[in-house]
Structure 1
Amino acid sequence: MDECKSFKKQYDKCFNAWFRDKFLKGSNDDSVCSELLKNYTGCVKKVMKDKDIDIGEFRPFSPNISSNYEPSKNK
């Protein structure tokens, strides 16, 4: 999803730094990247909604998938 590339890049950079500098040294507080993750997942959900991609199509592959967005079946 090209629309979300910048959000993903920012989150990945933060996550990699957190993993290297904090997690591997014993800290499991991952809140430092939580806002970036929220922005990235929000973007992905919006793009999926805008493109009418139903997350339910993926549930057979991973039954634990959930989403706040469930597209209307009566279009």
Structure 2
Amino acid sequence: MLNLLSILVGVLVFFGAIIGFIPFFGWFNWLLIPLALFGVVLGMLSSHRSGRNLNIVLIVFCALRLMIGGGLF
């Protein structure tokens, strides 16, 4: 059940990351990274790894987007 919640959080973060990829909406990634961290915690409490791995990949993607945009754009 916790893995399913972690995947659900990951899907929400994924769609948010698509919005954050648009120029001048990069700041939105600052809100998504803590949400993805919450998904990682839920995934760590589960016996499965897929939700945790999904959220870790999304954290890396959002962090790279922030680095490319200088942390704001």
| Range of TM-score over shorter length | 0.3 to 0.5
**Normalising to structure 2: TM-score of the pair?**
0.43
- Whichever of the two has the greater Rg, that structure is 1
**Normalising to structure 1: TM-score of the pair?**
0.42
Higher normalized contact order (CA 8 Å, seq sep 6+, divided by chain length) = 2
Structure number with the higher helix fraction is 2
